[in-house]
Amino acid sequence: MASKYKAKNYRCLLNESQKTLNQTKHWLMLNLKLNNLNAAMLLGATMLFSACGGNTENAEGGSDLTGSVQIDGSSTVYPITEAVAEEYRAEAPDVKVTVGVSGSGSGFKKFTRGDIDVTNASRAINADEAAVAQENNLSFLELSVAYDGLTVVVHPENDWVQDITVAELKKIWEPAAQGTIKKWNQIRPEWPDREIHLYGPGVESGTYDYFTEAVVGKSHSSRGDYTASEDDNVLVQGVSTDPNALGFFGYAYYEENQNKLKAIPVDDQDDSNGAGAILPSLETVKDGSYAPLSRPLFIYVHSKAVERPEVVDFVNFYLDNAGELAEEVGYIPLPDNLYEEQRQKFEQFVSGSGATANQQ
Amino acid sequence: MTNSDINRLKDKAFQVFGVFCTFIGLVVLGIFLIDIIIEGVQRLNWDFLVNLPSRRASRAGILTAWVGTLWILVLTTIIAFPLGVAAGVYLEEYGKKNKMANFLEINIANLAGVPSIIYGLLGLEIFVRQMRLGGSLLAGALTLSLLILPIIIVTTREAIKAVPRSIRDGSFALGASKWQTVWHQVLPASFGGILTGIILALSRAVGEAAPLIVIGALAYVPFTPSTPLDEFTVLPIQIFNWTSRPQEAFLTNAAAAIIVLLVITFLLNGIAVYLRNKQQRKVRW
């Protein structure tokens, strides 16, 4: 969110400064932002802006499907869906695919009312949301499209943390830690007597829900005294400038900022899925050894939507291309056999649409 | 030192202080502008303006975003202009100065300070759900109209107030009715001020992302809208979306989109100043 404010600030400051500049020249004593804006006009005049007509791109594609596919939901899954929608335009140029970013919760709200056809979700649908779909006579299907590895990071100058266990993460993040766990040496005695500063996604995000579920054991439950931001770039900024920091966010944000951050291998103390502490990477997330912080990303589609051929075609296209495109935008593809499984699940759902119970 | 010397010194000190205050705002603005221009200007080219959104930052463009922004601007003007000016004229010229008027006045002033996201929620319930407009341009424009109506009403009233009493009296003395006075004397005389207010209100609307995201404006729209009932995206949403992406190249895109948005805002402000200056020259009492 902070970045949005950043963008808005330019305008606010703009108006403020122009106000001061021209305090003396009021004609009308307007108490709003109605002041003289000569500076703006000068700048505006130097930058010529010309408008042009509508889009005339109409490439010949391989499909004569028409109609629309409306998608909304998680902003985490958005880059994958955007990539798929972009590629799908070459396949079926007359199908209008639109994607919103109102968030997983908001997406489910529209999805369960049948307002949209497909919703992006960075968490599974919950019981309340499923009940609403039931009320509206919609059955739905959950499809995994990629993985994200939640990455635990510290400042690159932090030389004391070499690995961390899930139990230690729990000790740091559980609600009881609020106000008591304040120093590194409270977590592991050999760590220094320095303050620990925590950074994490805001409580509205699916990332937060998943992390608390996996680490604390209860979804949506953690200490409240940490620096929270809905914008992962703000967290990157925070951790990379604070030597006492510890934070977590999606793998893509670590991957793009590797020179500014140090990722910590996580040990789930369960050797059946890889022994010892494991760093997140394309391989460890994909083969399941980076547990429990690998999380699946989903799309959901409902029974009414799959009555339309363009939705079926789009979802099939999605599952065929999700792996490659997910990797391109910074996520981790599922193993091939899992994509095959999703395709079969979807095929069954389409052929038995309405008759099948809701499956997750 | 004599008393007058001290006073002169105080005078000088205050002048320096005033200049300093003026420059703080300007310097901060300058830093922001330079920072954004340095980052974004190399990305700004014709392709950027006419390309569709894309997962590849280097191929992504803002066509649907700025076309959506222009649509929103035009529709919002069509809706908010007559409503706001009529409300202002009523309150200033026709409304009786009683408790009700007082109540309205306080509420309009309060409405101007309500956070924009609240208008988004209102728009979602009334326009998107009750009126079944969905996440369309029309729903977005109606929501933004609500957002800027208080500003337009207040500026209209101020502009009308600035018309001298003698003009009205003269008009009435010549036998003009109230409506004729308002239409032929008061409105033309205050039109420059009203227009300036409207354009500045619009340049606030043009930068809003939050209320439009709430009513369901989209982020990926691969076609430009052709009717007011089409779905849409706007520049601030595109900027918001790009700044939250992990890849550096998207941040550059965001900076370039910010420049385009700033140019639109500056143009609007420029038009406002032009119209007002023109008006000032024309009105001679």
- Determine the residue of chain A that is closest to B70 in CA distance: A51
pLDDT band with cut points at 50, 70 and 90 for residue A123: confident
Q: Does B229 touch chain A (CB under 8 A)?
A: no
Q: What does the pLDDT look like over A203-224, one tens digit per residue?
A: 878 888 889 999 998 888 899 9
Percent of chain A with pLDDT over 90: 62
Those residues with Cβ within 8 angstroms of residue B14's Cβ, 6 or more apart along the chain or in another chain: none
Residues A168-187 have a mean pLDDT of 92
pLDDT band with cut points at 50, 70 and 90 for residue A6: very low
Residues A243-266 have a mean pLDDT of 93
Q: Which residues in chain A have their CB less than 8 angstroms from residue B26's CB?
A: 17, 20-21, 39
- Distances in Å between the Cα of A339 and the Cα atoms of A119, A142, A322, B132 are 18, 13, 9, 38
Superfamily of the domain at B63-281: MetI-like (1.10.3720.10)
The residue length of chain A stands at: 360
Residues B17-30 have a mean pLDDT of 92
* Half-sphere CA count of A23, side-chain side, radius 13 A: 10
Chain B residues 47-86 with a CB less than 8 Å from chain A:
49-50, 52-55, 63-64, 67, 70
pLDDT band with cut points at 50, 70 and 90 for residue B50: very high
Domain range list for chain B: 63-281
- pLDDT on residue A263: 95
Site of tokens 């230690």:
A168
What is the rounded (10 degree) CA torsion for B83, B89, B90, B94?
A: -160
Residue A45 has pLDDT above 50, yes or no: no
Cα–Cα–Cα angle for B179, B180, B184, rounded to 5 degrees:
120
pLDDT band with cut points at 50, 70 and 90 for residue A253: very high
Q: Which residues in chain B have their CB less than 8 angstroms from residue A7's CB?
A: 207, 209, 236, 239-240, 243, 254, 258, 261
Distance between first and last Cα of chain B: 50
The reported pTM is 0.79
Q: Is residue A103 helix, strand or coil?
A: coil
Residue with the larger pLDDT of the pair A230 and A23: A230
Q: Inter-chain contact B55–A86, Cβ cutoff 8 Å? A: yes
The per-residue pLDDT of chain B, averaged, comes to 90
Cα–Cα–Cα angle for A230, A231, A232, rounded to 5 degrees:
110
Residues B18-42 have a mean pLDDT of 92
Chain B residues 83-122 with a CB less than 8 Å from chain A:
112
Q: What does the pLDDT look like over A267-290, one tens digit per residue?
A: 988 888 778 899 999 999 998 889
Strands A262-263 and A151-154: antiparallel
**Cα–Cα distance measured from residue B119 to residue B147, given in angstroms and rounded to the nearest whole number:** 6
pLDDT band with cut points at 50, 70 and 90 for residue A21: very low
- pLDDT on residue B191: 87
- pLDDT on residue A353: 59
Suggest the residue from B262, B275, B277 to mutate for an interface test with chain A (most A CBs closer than 10 A). Answer: B262
- pLDDT on residue A26: 38
Q: Inter-chain contact B52–A253, Cβ cutoff 8 Å? A: no
Helix (H) or strand (E) holding A73: strand A67-73
Q: Inter-chain contact A28–B270, Cβ cutoff 8 Å? A: no
pLDDT band with cut points at 50, 70 and 90 for residue A51: very low
pLDDT band with cut points at 50, 70 and 90 for residue A306: very high
Residues A41-60 have a mean pLDDT of 36
Q: What does the pLDDT look like over B153-193, one tens digit per residue?
A: 999 999 999 999 999 999 999 999 999 999 999 998 898 88
Percent of chain A with pLDDT over 70: 80
Residue A134 has pLDDT above 70, yes or no: yes
CA nearest to B63, candidates B203, B196, B232, B198: B232
ipTM value for the complex: 0.80
- Determine the residue of chain B that is closest to A98 in CA distance: B221
Percent of chain B with pLDDT over 70: 99
Residues A118-141 have a mean pLDDT of 93
Tokens standing for residue A5? 């404010």
- Determine the residue of chain A that is closest to B209 in CA distance: A4
Q: Which residues in chain B have their CB less than 8 angstroms from residue A78's CB?
A: 219-220, 241
The residue length of chain B stands at: 285
**Cα–Cα distance measured from residue A42 to residue B266, given in angstroms and rounded to the nearest whole number:** 9
pLDDT band with cut points at 50, 70 and 90 for residue B214: confident
Q: Is residue A187 helix, strand or coil?
A: coil
Residues B117-144 have a mean pLDDT of 92
The C-alpha of B147 sits at a distance from chain A's nearest C-alpha, in angstroms, of 14
